[in-house]
Amino acid sequence: MDSEAHNPMRDFLREHNIHEVECVIADMTGIARGKILPKDLFLAGEHMRLPKSVLLNTVHGEQPNNTPYVGSIDPDMVCVPDPATIRVVPWATERVALVIHDCTNFDGTQVDLAPRSVLRRVLGLYAERGWRPVVAPEMEFYLVARTTNPHEPLSPPTGRSGFTEQGRQSYSIDAVNDFDPFFLELSAFCKQHELGVETLIHEAGAGQMEINFTHGDALELADRVFLFKRAVRETALRHGIFATFMAKPMETEPGSAMHVHQSIVDADGRNIFSNDDGTESTLFRQFIGGLERYVPAATLLFAPHVNSYRRLSRFQSAPMNVHWGYDNRTCGIRIPNSSPASRRVENRVPGVDVNPYLAMAATLACGFLGMVEGLEPPAPTPESAEHIHGDLPRNLEDAILQLRGCPALADMLGPLFVQAFCEVKELEFATFSRVISSWEREHLMLLV
């Protein structure tokens, strides 16, 4: 990086008196990986290099055979900072900045395996048609009591009152206020970190919260969700509790979702889901048709872990269907009440345990395929769809098979990425399948 030429990142570092820079990328799980560099080295040196294989880590730190994806010599990739993502790390003890990087090959092309590249690929296909997606995620998560024993069930934390929550406190202001110190600091961190958090509510579960983001560009929102998860965890640690984005962290409490609201605008900023007279456009219905057709095959990107399917279960409240309906929360695809200019589609299938880049890419890919293939959805569902459970895969292995069997999605997301992602998830499933649970020991050891 030329330290003499005008550079907005240098100006930012000088203005905020930054000493170190966290240079980060997101792997397939969504874990932040990278290096921490002194400011001068960040400005004066070459771009950060990391092995391409770092993108292929499973959630438990292993890798499948990566030769088909990175070659036999495990080469480096070049990580190029995106100046639009630079921001202060508010919880750091010293003056630290963070910059999200794009993963590129040495010829400047994007690394197909990188989640940010996958989302860029999908957005590029939209741009070729003069379209730009606008998204707004809603993220649910749990605050839980600190524990260092993974064999013990999680439980709600103790609030200011000295009590843990008993029963469910949907939309309770008092239940949120019980954790005022945590939320006041989180709010300050989100403002300093420029995350664009809009509203906070208490969700149905004990200790379950929901944060809504302001709508905006899909890549920017994926960046913000990626950073928000870390901000929440860091804030929780400062207050002696844990925050978890597991899809189903507690046996008796509901799961946590990341609902994604999405609309598409043209070059003039007009919502293509609405006609000039305010009625629903053909493209709007085709976008829904694409979600109905392709969300089942894309479920691995919306439910990427074994725990995800404890939320997507007919014994839970999360939708197990891809039916659509107006203001119908029992459907996997909900159309909120809105003005024609704000007409949008809400995908309610993703869990909060997703990699945000991949979930955004997948839901937009499904809708894009519906529009370009002219898929017309069936009639909307006016009644409850809670009894409809057969549309989505039932477990991680089934989801892997469905994604592998969908060439249309592979073409959208990148064939090499889809193949590699499925291999990473197969290794995770194989590792999980070797585990014998306490339930099995309790009920089977002496009785069968």
pLDDT at position 4 over 70: no
Residue 181: predicted pLDDT: 86
pLDDT at position 169 over 60: no
Provide the CATH topology of domain 8-111: Ubiquitin-like (UB roll) (3.10.20)
Residues 222, 223, 224, 226, CA torsion sign: positive
Mean of the pLDDT values across residues 11-36? 96
Digit-coded pLDDT (tens) for 182-218: 888 999 999 999 998 887 777 777 788 889 999 999 9
Residue 203: predicted pLDDT: 72
* 333, 348 contact by CB (below 8 A): yes
pLDDT at position 322 over 90: yes
Q: What is the 3-state secondary structure (H, E, C) of the chain?
A: CCCCCCCHHHHHHHHCCCCEEEEEEECCCCCEEEEEEEHHHHHHCCCEEEEHHHHHCCCCCCCCCCHHHHCCCCCEEEEEECHHHCEECCCCCCCEEEEEEEEECCCCCECCCCHHHHHHHHHHHHHHCCCEEEEEEEEEEEEEECCCCCCCCCCCCCCCCCCCCCCCCCCCHHHHHCCHHHHHHHHHHHHHCCCCEEEEEECCCCCEEEEEECCEEHHHHHHHHHHHHHHHHHHHHHCCEEEECCCCCCCCCCCCEEEEEEEEECCCCCECCECCCCCECHHHHHHHHHHHHHHHHHHHHHCCCCCHHHHCCCCCCCCCCCCEEECCCCCCEEECCCCHHHCCEEECCCECCCCHHHHHHHHHHHHHHHHHHCCCCCCCCCCCCCCCCCCCCCCHHHHHHHHHCCHHHHHHHCHHHHHHHHHHHHHHHHHHHCCCCHHHHHHHCCCC
CA distance 258 to 397: 22
Q: Which residues contact 248 (CB under 8 A, 6 or more apart)?
A: 255, 256, 307, 308, 310, 311, 316
Residue with tokens 């014998």: 436
Residue 337: predicted pLDDT: 95
Task: Give the start-to-end residue ranges of the domains of the chain.
Answer: 8-111, 124-430
Residue type, 246: M
> What are the contacts of 86-91 at 24+ separation with CB within 8 A?
86/8, 86/9, 86/12, 87/192, 87/193, 87/194, 87/227, 88/16, 88/18, 88/192, 88/193, 89/22, 89/193, 90/188, 90/189, 90/192, 90/193, 90/231, 91/189, 91/231, 91/234, 91/235, 91/238
Residue 154: predicted pLDDT: 86
Residue 401: predicted pLDDT: 98
Digit-coded pLDDT (tens) for 345-371: 999 999 999 999 999 999 999 999 999
Residue type, 382: P
Higher-pLDDT residue of 344 and 204 is: 344
Residues 188, 191, 193, 197, CA torsion sign: positive
Q: How would you label 192-202 residue by residue, b for 16+ Cβ within 10 Å and e otherwise? A: ebebbbeeebb
Tell if the pTM clears 0.85, that is, is over it: yes
* 32, 24 contact by CB (below 8 A): yes
Give the angle subtended at the CA of 117 by the CAs of 111 and 350, to the nearest 5°. 135
Residue type, 326: Y
Q: Which residues contact 190 (CB under 8 A, 6 or more apart)?
A: 196, 197, 228, 231
124-430 has CATH 1.10.490.10 classification: no
Residues 293, 296, 297, 301, CA torsion sign: positive
Among residues 419, 438, 372, 425, the alpha carbon closest in space to that of 397 is found at 425
Residues 258, 264, 265, 266, CA torsion sign: positive
Among residues 313, 97, 310, 82, the alpha carbon closest in space to that of 192 is found at 97
Residue 3: predicted pLDDT: 44
Digit-coded pLDDT (tens) for 261-307: 999 999 999 999 999 999 999 999 999 999 999 999 999 999 999 99
Residue 167: predicted pLDDT: 57
* 258, 139 contact by CB (below 8 A): yes
CA distance 353 to 303: 7
Number of Cβ within a 10 Å radius of residue 334: 21
